[in-house]
Amino acid sequence: MVDIVTASQQLAEAFKGQDADYVEARLTEGETSHITYRGRQLESIGRSSAIGGNVRALVKGGWGFVCFNDLSELPDKVALAVKQAQFVGKEESQLAPAEPAVETVPSTIAEDPANVSLAEKKQLLDEYNDIICRYPKIQTSMINYSDSQRRTIFLNSAGSRIEQERRDVALRLAAVAASNSEVQQAGISLGGLNDFGAVRGLHSEAEQLAKRAVDLLSAPHVKGGEYTVVLDPILAGVFTHEAFGHLSEADFVYENEQFRQIMTLGKTFGEPHLNIVDTATLPGLRGSYKYDDEGVLATKTYLIREGKLVGRLHSRETAAKMKEAPTGNARAISYRFPPIVRMTNTYIEPGLASLDDIISEIKEGVYAKNWYGGVTSMEMFTFSAGEAYMIRDGKVAELLRPVVLTGNVFNTLKNIDAIGNDLDMNQGGGCGKGGQSPLPCSNGSPHIRIRNCLVGGR
Amino acid sequence: MEEILNRASKVAEEAEVFMVSSEETPVEFETNRLKHIQSKQSTNVALRIVKNGRIGYATTTRVDDIENLIANAVATAEFGTTAHFTLPSLTSYPNIEVFDPDVEKVTQERMAELGQGMIDALTKHTPELICEAAVTRIIAYVSIINSRGGQARYRQSAFTTAIEGQLIRDTDMLFVGEHWSSCHPLLEPGDIIRAVLQQLEWAREQASVPTRSLPVIFTPHGIASAFAGPIIAAFNGKTVLEGASPIAKKLGKGVFDKRLSLRDDPTIDYRPGSSPCDAEAVPSEATPLITEGTVSSFYYDLQTAALAKTRSTGNGHRSQGGQPSPLPSALVVTPGDATFDDMLHDIKEGLVVEQLMGATQGNILGGDFSGNVLLGYKVEGGQIVGRVKDTMVAGNVYELLKQVAAIGSDARWVGSFLNTPSIYCPSVSVASK
């Protein structure tokens, strides 16, 4: 069978003489492994290997896209993508300039998950699982581990040929506690890029989450309503990603006049202490890479600087249409999808306040920690805390049942009135958009305080 | 496939080969116009073996790389979980129609016309509306063979239309939308258009609700976003076996309102959630989950059923290429006799929930949900008076469905996984700004 290097040569040939404004292809080969536990039982262990690719063509502003596992008859696939694009295209193609690159990007691997044997991975997970399962009142555990290695060759009709490799590691540990007909759970998600070490040494975390699940059984519900809320770095990172990050993805904005007006650069979104950044250039973070899936170099983009909107995330098409510079944020979850505008590593830059400063002035509030999930509909967002406490008279008080926080992003960012000095990045989970989920991303923040945040409860 | 099975059978006690190949053609619209046509071809082979009593599992997209596939399955079998099941031998399958050859015949041009037609109808009503739409046709071939002689093969067609419109005024955003699916081509978009126009009409004005307990009607979409997650988790045989389901010990007991009945039903002709067998080649059957308020059974795959000392209900499905595990095929709630208007007229002050955002982030296993009302309407004096914003709804599925005010007669499909009428709950906790 054809390998991806040979296929890339055939595709480069097939690009010649096509009646299209632009053609590109991505070819991928990779392996993934997963191990899952439910309770004492190892539930599933498996390995997958995949090879596949796609061709994307642009003609008069219309896109055609063909993806496949079978690497034969590649010229036909190029022709089909071009034909589809021709059918769609009725305008003018616009792509921001990107310097053609020919490069094999060396990967810097701290600890390669491919070099850790299945036996050793299982041993480590057994240790975590044992800690959770032997904790009193724990009914069951859920552990999901996966790693992947992926080699991708990108090429386009402008002469780019970029080869990149990555190793991704992700782990979720969850504990379920039960008494009578009450069931409560607690979990943590972690991950790393090119480093199996990211999931080592979590024994005390495993113990803590088992304890938390059990404590939740007797914890009260928060009374629904508006509170002053303090978010820990992990949850504030999710908040940044959900509430603001998605708004800064230019594909929501570029052809939507009303939305463009809302997102006019220079507009005030927060107090002058607020700075939000997205960058794929930080080593070791799951959202990092050298080139995006359109062959554009990764950049560091300030989205909010001193409270004002100063930038957004672009693909080549959205950058051209908005007459802004490309930022290298076009990403696809796999060869089965075309790249779309995505975040990479998104965070709030640290301020000066200590956690004590942030909490001590609050008479009654909620301290929300840890990621459970989050979604956004642009204007409104909701995200949930894996762990929450009441704050009473400036001190962290009783544990609460899991809380869901919701709000309107335009008001909420302005309501951030304190930013801590303790930036931390969250590598767990993944981002979903346009049917492409979970894409490796990271997000982070220092502790932040939000006034008048709506908390769901009973 | 036969070669994979033959070679795998030589190194393992049991083997099963599952292969799915599909062709998917989405025609996509952005900002009210055609933007993207895709053609997605995929092939995936999954090999499950039992070696020394343990399960090994591997998948590949390389149909010619049998050696690596078998080696990976053998490597994982060393650590795999103990197999308790027996693969099904040769059997007959119910005659369930899931393939319509007309789907293949729908041209890209026709799909593009369909999408544009939906968008034009909506923008004619509300010119500032910005729509995304997708019209997709899918043809899939599924084959399963195993070392006990079991074999199943079928092909399935699917056609889906989805449309989402957003209306922005200053920083106020309204999202409306619908998605429909069938094994037949959906060439008459009248119903989907009418459904979205109704949402636009109801959302024309803004209204606010107080922070307290209110009567709430959950529409079929609302039920999908609020109740479906906890119910799917609770009736999963695996959750039950672990004791993590709150209804694990309630089999045969009345837990829900007597008017509530729910079944998993993959036997309905021409539904994308239907099939003659599950992904382990176990024949499909309808499984009653709630019968007039009583927990009547749970759903199982082979392994979980064996551990629970019961039989598979034909719910061994594979999500994203993973091993079979219990998943519902298509959940069907039996409709009641209250019309939607009957339910509305009963409410002095309350809420209709059409779409909850983020409702299943909380303690799903415990039945809790809590979400932001992405699309919902205020009811005043029996009438919808406008759309609510900055509003959260929270509750517990078991408490709310213990006693409902009414079950609607307006059953419909939500995507391919749920068919339900509206459900009217007399008192639900609502918080708003």
Which listed CATH number (3.10.20.740, 3.30.2290.10, 3.40.640.10, 3.50.50.60) goes with B2-200?
3.30.2290.10
Which residue in B has a C-alpha nearest to residue A78's C-alpha? B39
* B210–A contact, CB cutoff 8 A: no
* B66–A contact, CB cutoff 8 A: no
Banded model confidence at residue B362, pLDDT cuts 50, 70, 90 = low
Instruction: Provide the chain A residues 67-86 that lie in CB contact (below 8 A) with chain B.
Output: 67-70, 80-81, 84-85
- The single residue listed with the structure tokens 């009641």 is B336
Instruction: Provide the chain A residues 234-293 that lie in CB contact (below 8 A) with chain B.
Output: 255-256, 258-259, 262
The average pLDDT across B171-197 equals: 94
- CB pair distance less than 8 Å for A382 and B36: no
Closest residue to B371, CB basis, from A226, A379, A382? A382
The amino acid sitting at B212 is: R
- CB pair distance less than 8 Å for A46 and B58: yes
Closest residue to A456, CB basis, from B242, B360, B394? B394
- CB pair distance less than 8 Å for B322 and A44: yes
> Which helix or strand (DSSP H or E) is residue A206 part of?
helix A203-217
Degrees, nearest 5: CA angle B363-B369-B375: 145
* A378–B contact, CB cutoff 8 A: yes
* A47–B contact, CB cutoff 8 A: yes
Closest residue to A375, CB basis, from B40, B238, B358? B358
Q: Read off the pLDDT of residues B80-133 as tens digits, 9 standing for 90 and up.
A: 999 999 999 999 999 999 999 999 999 999 999 999 999 999 999 999 999 999
- CB pair distance less than 8 Å for A139 and B41: no
**Residue A418 φ/ψ, nearest 5 degrees:** -150, 135
The average pLDDT across B291-296 equals: 98
Strand blocks (E) in B256-330: 262-264, 287-291, 294-295, 316-317, 325-326
Shortest Cα distance from A220 to chain B (angstroms)? 13
Cβ contact A218:A311 at 8 Å = no
* Sequence spans of domains, chain A: 4-217, 225-456
Residue (of B95, B156, B158, B420) closest to B279 by Cα position: B156
* A219–B contact, CB cutoff 8 A: no
- CB pair distance less than 8 Å for B361 and A39: no
Task: Identify the residue among A183, A189, A215, A412 best suited for mutation to test binding to B, counting B beta carbons within 10 A and taking the highest.
Answer: A183
Residues 6+ apart with CB under 8 A from B212: B429, B430
- The single residue listed with the structure tokens 């219990």 is B326
Residues of chain B with CATH 3.30.2290.10: 2-200
User: What is the pLDDT at residue A458?
Assistant: 57
Instruction: State how far the Cα of A451 lies from the Cα of B202, in Å rounded to an integer.
Output: 32
User: What is the pLDDT at residue A410?
Assistant: 86
**Cβ contacts (< 8 Å) between B363 and chain A: which residues?**
183-185, 216, 401-402
> Which helix or strand (DSSP H or E) is residue A189 part of?
strand A182-193
Which residue in B has a C-alpha nearest to residue A180's C-alpha? B246
Residue B59 has pLDDT above 80, yes or no: yes
- CB pair distance less than 8 Å for B374 and A380: yes
* A139–B contact, CB cutoff 8 A: yes
Instruction: State how far the Cα of A68 lies from the Cα of B51, in Å rounded to an integer.
Output: 33
- CB pair distance less than 8 Å for A456 and B361: no
Would you write out chain A's pLDDT as a tens digit for each of its 458 residues? 689 999 999 999 999 999 999 999 999 999 999 999 989 888 899 999 999 999 999 999 999 999 999 999 999 999 999 999 999 999 999 999 999 999 999 888 999 999 999 999 999 999 999 999 999 999 999 999 999 999 999 999 999 999 999 999 999 999 999 887 678 889 988 999 999 999 999 999 999 999 999 999 999 989 888 999 999 999 999 889 988 999 999 998 888 888 888 899 999 999 999 999 999 999 989 999 999 999 999 999 999 999 999 999 999 999 999 999 999 999 999 999 999 999 999 999 999 999 999 999 999 999 999 877 777 777 778 888 888 999 999 999 999 988 888 888 888 999 999 999 999 998 887 888 888 888 999 999 999 999 999 887 65
Across chain A, how many H-helices and E-strands are there?
A: 9, 24
Task: Identify the residue among A54, A149, A377 best suited for mutation to test binding to B, counting B beta carbons within 10 A and taking the highest.
Answer: A377
Shortest Cα distance from A281 to chain B (angstroms)? 30
Q: Read off the pLDDT of residues B198-257 as tens digits, 9 standing for 90 and up.
A: 999 999 999 999 999 999 999 999 999 999 999 999 999 999 998 889 999 999 999 999
Q: Read off the pLDDT of residues B138-149 as tens digits, 9 standing for 90 and up.
A: 999 999 999 999
Q: Read off the pLDDT of residues B280-292 as tens digits, 9 standing for 90 and up.
A: 999 999 999 999 9
Which residue in A has a C-alpha nearest to residue B72's C-alpha? A47
* A100–B contact, CB cutoff 8 A: no
In CATH terms, is domain A4-217 a member of 3.30.2290.10?
Answer: yes
